[in-house]
Amino acid sequence: MSEAVPAVTDSDFEAEVLRSQKPVLVDFWAAWCGPCRMIAPVVESLATELGEKVKVVKMDVDANPKTQMQLDIRSIPTVDIFKDGRPEARAVGYSPAIKGQLRQKLEALL
> Is 33 considered catalytic here?
yes
> Is 36 considered catalytic here?
yes
Residue 4 banded pLDDT, cuts 50, 70, 90: confident
**pTM (2 decimals)?**
0.95
> pLDDT tens for residues 72-98?
999 999 999 999 999 999 999 999 999
Q: Is the pLDDT of residue 70 over 50?
A: yes
User: CB count, 10 Å around CB of 46?
Assistant: 22
CB 25 within 8 A of CB 5: no
CB 29 within 8 A of CB 36: yes
Out of 33, 40, 56, 102, the active site residue is 33
Return the closest-CA partner of residue 77 out of 23, 13, 4, 25: 25
pLDDT of residue 3: 62
Out of 5, 8, 36, 81, the active site residue is 36
